[in-house]
Amino acid sequence: MNTKDGIGTSLTRKESLDKVSGRVIYGGDNMTPQMLYAAQKTSPHAHAKIIKIDTEKAKGMKGIKAIFTGDDYKDNLGLYLCDKPPVARNVVRHYGEVVAAVVADTYANATAAADAIAVEYEVMKPILSPLEALSDDAYTIHEEMGSYSHIKPIHPEPGTNVANRTKIRKGNPTEAFKSAHVTIETFVEIPPGDHVAMEPRVAIAEIKKTGYVHILSSTQAPFVVKGLMHQFFGIDQGKIIVKAPLIGGGFGGKAGIQLEGLAYLLSQKVGGRPVKLVNTREEDLTGSPGHIGLQAKIKIAADAEGKIMGMDMDYYFNSGAYADYAVNVSRAAAISCTGPYYVPNIRCDSMCVYTNMPFATAYRGFGHIEMSFAVERAMDELANALKMDPLELRIKNGIKPHDTTPVQSVLNESTGDIIKCFEEVGAMLGGDIGATQQLENNTVRVKGVTGLWKAPAMPTNTDAGAILTFNSDGSCNLNTGVVEIGQGTKTGLAQIVSERLGIPVDKVHVVMEVDTSVSPSDWATAASRGLMMAGMATLEACEDAENQIKEIASAVLRVPKRDLKVDGERVFVPDEPKIGLNLSEVVLGYVYPNGNAIYGQVIGSGKYIAKHLTDLDPETGEGHPDLEWTLGAEGVEIEVNLNTGKYKILKAVCCIDVGKVISPALARGQIVGGMAMGMGYTTMEGFTFNDRGQVTNGVLRDYKIMRYGDEPEYQVKFLETPQQDGPYGARGLGEQSVIGMPGAIANALSRAVGKGMNQIPLTPEKVWKTSMEVKR
């Protein structure tokens, strides 16, 4: 079937009109007469002992209902590594950390009381880089790490500042380097920063008299929140109801557990009344988790023809003061540590390292954007050493089906065509990638390319579900646990239903809010696995519903089920289409002319769970943690004024193998949005710090992000090597296009100035200074 509403068609997103008209009720818009409001007191220091918290003045202020400090709850929270108290307890570990919270009848009163809390600190010297944290004279930021609970695949090293180390050992890299024709070594740095989602984080918690706990949260993972609330607070899971409305952007920053635990504890303090906890923009930047930083050392050995013989890598991920979610970021980078290249001999240590900086969580690309920057800079350095075109080098080493990954899993026939992606990117840029075009006024035009790949980094039992019900007019309702964070997945799922059952998309009604009491379980809206996994569950729900529809129609029409087809809002005999029924006649049960009714309503259910996934061997990294791989290539063309360092990205291109394009417009929007995010990340974003560890650009006036008018010309191409276990062959594409932008831009700028640009952000000032150094 190929209806005008099915897959391969560009449609307006289901929620678009409500969003652009301002009708969407986001989490922070919720208000009730009984609601109380919370405000937070944050630390101005990056590292300090808390000597005393004086709350007496605040307690006597107007409208104050409760004050919460670290002494009020003695345990830590976390998903992967339980290392963070809801508010600081005894010690402050990063600038902006919450040290107290106030609940009042109005937000203004809560804020005034929070300001009145006096905190006495003993300020200590902060650690401000992973390599400093690993030095022999560094103090231990988490002295109690050995007592922290964690999941099995995470390997903390108590007594050090290493929260997790993932080892990859493949082949014999020592021998590869001994016999290599050429070797290169590269060092790169990326600062921590923020996601800058339009909506700040919010959580509303209420404890009912019946013992039910209701939480409304701007979360990408409502079922994770539900499970952790049970784990940490001993609440019966059946009495925890987590609701996730439409989310104003997440990019990974709203995964795991964040404000929900503190909101619950505050509600508990005020007798269960609903408490609304909303971050200010400044709190969202530095008090809640942002993107991870990195220092990395990459060595590559190659033969005379440019074939990579071995890689030796140390990734030092800067998790900041807490490492709960970040430990899995460093693990994910290890799984993909070589980039999309076949490497027979590998040694990699990917470490998650504590510092006294704002802490990190998932960020679009999940460790791959950082890892890729390091690898792709090293690949260009290798091309320079070999005097080889950088695109030719990548084509020569691109990974292919039946090759083994760094963790020694074998790529199957679903693996995308990275070689074709490189060729398409080269063509879109006009070739001659290694050339430098000289223009007037000491201006040059340069190009840069990168490869990219990503597999989901998730629990081995990650699941998804779908429920399909019907209305009396034959339309249907789709309910999944996928959170709509702006990615358009729910519209894509509606197109899958339309394609499978022949129902127009405008008659496929998608439940937007996720409610853990009625929505089917879904691990999290993360890892670019929503459409693939929920799509498979949706297809199974359609099959289940279709089987029930045929069963009812078979009884009424007196024909075998096998002779029936469901399409065009009917169930009928294909070779005698007049013999049939409208869906509206059967989906709620069939009623005979005499009033007798049979069967009852059609309810289709479907489920999906990741198959054959394993954890990694702790000593070698061998395993099969990768559900599916999305591969692609990206490139840029940049014009650089070497006199001033100012540059403009003229063109950004991407070719990506997505298996099957469900909605071309949504797919292109995801790719272009990721490229734009990657460009901002590379050229202007990232926290800046003084020597006391204080963030000096912790407001949006100073934290620069891309604006309208900054965008280049975008070109996007899709390849469609089918994902054999994906819905209609589709696989994930939401994160991937952010991954290659830092390396592409840095490679082009490095070519322009004649020296490696290895420290993000790549500001015009850095370009100018590097250009001047080369001239001297």
Residues 706-717 pLDDT 10s: 998 999 999 999
Say whether pLDDT at 775 is over 90. Answer: no
Mean pLDDT (whole number) for 392-409: 98
The pLDDT assigned to 2 comes to 42
Same structural domain, 431 and 450 = yes
Q: Is residue 472 exposed (0-12), middle (13-18) or buried (19+ Cβ within 10 Å)?
A: exposed
The pLDDT assigned to 190 comes to 98
In a domain, 147, yes or no: no
Contact 324, 78 (CB under 8 A): yes
Same structural domain, 556 and 474 = yes
The pLDDT assigned to 488 comes to 95
Closest of 418, 702, 480 to residue 604, by C-alpha:
480
Residues 728-766, buried b or exposed e (16+ Cβ, 10 A)? bbbbbbbbbbbbbbbbbbbbbbbbbbeebbbbbbbbbeb
Mean pLDDT (whole number) for 411-435: 97
Mean pLDDT (whole number) for 41-45: 98
Same structural domain, 595 and 496 = yes
In a domain, 391, yes or no: yes
Same structural domain, 659 and 700 = yes
Domain end call among 547, 580, 609: 609
Contact 347, 171 (CB under 8 A): no
Residue partners of 4: CB distance under 8 A and separation at least 6: none
In a domain, 239, yes or no: yes
CA 586 from chain center: how many Å?
Answer: 42
Determine what percent of the chain is predicted with pLDDT higher than 70: 99
Mean pLDDT (whole number) for 331-354: 98
Say whether pLDDT at 1 is over 80. Answer: no
By three-state DSSP, how is residue 440 classified?
coil
Same structural domain, 443 and 527 = no
Contact 366, 735 (CB under 8 A): yes
β partners of residue 349: 167, 314
> What is the token pair recorded at 685?
């974003």
Mean pLDDT (whole number) for 537-553: 98
Contact 257, 226 (CB under 8 A): no
How many domains, the chain? 3
Mean pLDDT (whole number) for 272-276: 98
Rounded distance between C-alpha atoms, residue 402 and residue 631, angstroms:
15
Rounded distance between C-alpha atoms, residue 686 and residue 547, angstroms:
53
CA 142 from chain center: how many Å?
Answer: 26
| Positive or negative torsion for Cα 536, 79, 234, 67 | negative
Same structural domain, 519 and 641 = no
Q: Residue 695 — φ and ψ, nearest 5°? A: -75, 125
> 41: domain CATH number?
3.90.1170.50
Mean pLDDT (whole number) for 601-613: 96
> 603: domain CATH number?
3.30.365.10
How many other C-beta atoms are found inside a 10 Å radius of the C-beta of residue 597?
10
Closest of 438, 393, 436, 448 to residue 754, by C-alpha:
436
Q: Is residue 563 exposed (0-12), middle (13-18) or buried (19+ Cβ within 10 Å)?
A: middle
Contact 138, 311 (CB under 8 A): no
Q: Is residue 708 exposed (0-12), middle (13-18) or buried (19+ Cβ within 10 Å)?
A: exposed
User: What dihedral angle (degrees, nearest 10) is formed by the CA atoms of 515, 517, 519, 522?
Assistant: 90
Q: Residue 270 — φ and ψ, nearest 5°? A: -115, 30
Same structural domain, 209 and 266 = yes
Say whether pLDDT at 3 is over 70. Answer: no
How many other C-beta atoms are found inside a 10 Å radius of the C-beta of residue 440?
5
Closest of 316, 379, 370, 4 to residue 166, by C-alpha:
316
Domain end call among 278, 313, 339: 278
Same structural domain, 433 and 466 = no
Query: Which residue is associated with the tokens 């006009």?
Result: 430
The pLDDT assigned to 776 comes to 78
How many other C-beta atoms are found inside a 10 Å radius of the C-beta of residue 80?
23
Same structural domain, 598 and 745 = no
Contact 313, 298 (CB under 8 A): yes
Say whether pLDDT at 697 is over 90. Answer: yes
Say whether pLDDT at 539 is over 80. Answer: yes
Rounded distance between C-alpha atoms, residue 58 and residue 109, angstroms:
10
In a domain, 340, yes or no: no
In a domain, 500, yes or no: yes
Contact 412, 403 (CB under 8 A): no
Say whether pLDDT at 731 is over 50. Answer: yes
When the pLDDT of each residue in the chain is averaged and rounded to a whole number, the result is 97
Mean pLDDT (whole number) for 60-80: 97
Mean pLDDT (whole number) for 165-193: 98
The pLDDT assigned to 6 comes to 87
Say whether pLDDT at 585 is over 50. Answer: yes
> What is the token pair recorded at 234?
């001993």
In a domain, 339, yes or no: no
Same structural domain, 718 and 743 = yes
Instruction: List alpha helices for 42-157, DSSP H.
Output: 56-59, 107-116, 130-133
Q: Which pLDDT tens digit goes with each residue over 90-122?
A: 999 999 999 999 999 999 999 999 999 999 999
Contact 722, 660 (CB under 8 A): yes
The pLDDT assigned to 770 comes to 97
In a domain, 616, yes or no: no
Same structural domain, 686 and 727 = yes
Contact 654, 717 (CB under 8 A): yes
Rounded distance between C-alpha atoms, residue 287 and residue 695, angstroms:
11
β partners of residue 443: 641
Rounded distance between C-alpha atoms, residue 710 and residue 624, angstroms:
41
Strands 202-207, 275-278: pairing is antiparallel
By three-state DSSP, how is residue 707 classified?
coil
In a domain, 736, yes or no: yes
Q: Is residue 143 exposed (0-12), middle (13-18) or buried (19+ Cβ within 10 Å)?
A: exposed
* Residue numbers of the domain that contains 734: 369-458+626-775
Same structural domain, 560 and 476 = yes
The pLDDT assigned to 4 comes to 55
Per DSSP (E only), the strands in 91-249 are 91-92, 98-104, 118-123, 162-170, 182-190, 202-207, 213-217, 240-244
CA distances from 468 to 295, 477, 497 (A): 48, 6, 9
Rounded distance between C-alpha atoms, residue 672 and residue 112, angstroms:
43
Domain end call among 553, 577, 609: 609
Instruction: Give the predicted TM-score (pTM) of the model.
Output: 0.97
Rounded distance between C-alpha atoms, residue 537 and residue 542, angstroms:
9
- Tell me how long the chain is: 776
